């Protein structure tokens, strides 16, 4: 692993032109990711970016890192496989609220409990944007969409409470309305030694609600620092996260002050332990029937 303090944001920008709707919040997110990666200082060839399916899942192609656009909801298991195969890589995941908390929802809890050193960035716009405006897991109750013509009966998923309840060691939220804050939070998440989660309220300008646009975010957002929150206070994080959908808090909700060993570190330790017991040229002998 190497770091280069001379790297700048444009070093992580590919030649592929983003094709999101003009004004989409994801433009800001990818710019913040460039800044965060430059701040971390790992060169692009030491970074792997995995995504599922959705508007936000195009992000790997817009970076100069290794990129893998996987199937819907499956970015986390693939990212974990990459991290196990090459623990020295810096591994990130990108996806949307539908990709992460509907079809991919079951993978989130297991990624958290394994605690691989990967960063999961979810662009949460409370709607399915790529497929023309259907109800998503984080859509508010009562929302009228093409799949809830008379208004939804369902209560929304709270991504922040989900991740805190699962035991994630780093949980944060950001918005493109605060570019500097978003880049800082993403960089902090990448630097955290373990599974980290950043929920980004990324507005969908085509199908999203008026109250969920960047202009509205600027007047709504409250930094967690401004309300005196200590990121080491997990119970305080639960209380603040319970206001998802009511208050737009930005910053780090929780950062485990004593991070447990990562899955990839434990995996390496097990490999080293077994290497002293079974010579590599005798491994297949263990599976031969006698």
pLDDT above 80 for 53: yes
Cβ contacts of 149 within 8 Å, gap of 6 or more? none
- pLDDT given at position 145: 85
Rounded Cα distance between 240 and 230, Å, is 11
Q: pLDDT tens-digit profile of 212-242? A: 788 889 999 999 999 999 999 999 999 999 9
| Chain centre to alpha carbon of residue 89 | 16
> Which domains are present in the chain?
9-287 (3.40.50.970)
The H or E element spanning position 199 is: strand 196-201
Most confident residue range from 98-102, 188-192, 276-280: 188-192
């Amino acid at each position: 692993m190497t770091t280069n303090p001379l790297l700048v944001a444009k070093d992580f920008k590919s030649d592929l032109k983003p094709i999101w709707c003009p004004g989409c919040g994801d433009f800001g997110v990818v710019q913040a990711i460039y800044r965060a990666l430059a701040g971390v200082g790992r060169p692009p060839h030491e970074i792997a970016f995995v995504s599922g399916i959705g508007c936000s899942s195009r992000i790997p192609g817009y970076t100069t890192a290794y990129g893998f656009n996987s199937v819907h909801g499956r970015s986390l298991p693939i990212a974990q496989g990459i991290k196990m195969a090459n623990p020295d890589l810096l591994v990130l995941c990108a996806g949307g609220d539908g990709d992460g908390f509907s079809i991919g929802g079951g993978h989130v809890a297991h990624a958290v409990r394994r605690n691989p050193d990967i960063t999961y960035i979810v662009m949460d716009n409370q709607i399915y944007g790529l497929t023309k405006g259907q109800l998503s897991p984080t859509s508010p109750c009562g929302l009228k969409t093409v799949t809830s013509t008379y208004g939804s009966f369902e209560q929304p998923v709270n991504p922040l409470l989900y991740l805190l309840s699962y035991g994630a060691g780093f949980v944060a939220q950001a918005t493109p309305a605060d570019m500097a804050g978003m880049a800082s939070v993403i960089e902090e998440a990448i630097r955290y030694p373990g599974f980290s989660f950043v929920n980004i309220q990324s507005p969908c300008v085509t199908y999203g609600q008026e109250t969920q646009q960047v202009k509205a975010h600027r007047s709504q957002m409250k930094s967690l620092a401004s309300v005196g929150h200590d990121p080491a206070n997990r119970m305080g994080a639960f209380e603040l996260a319970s206001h998802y959908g009511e208050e737009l808090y930005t910053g780090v909700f929780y950062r485990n002050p004593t991070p447990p060993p990562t899955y990839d570190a434990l995996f390496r330790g097990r490999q080293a332990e077994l290497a002293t017991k079974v010579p590599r040229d005798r491994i297949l002998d263990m599976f031969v029937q006698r």
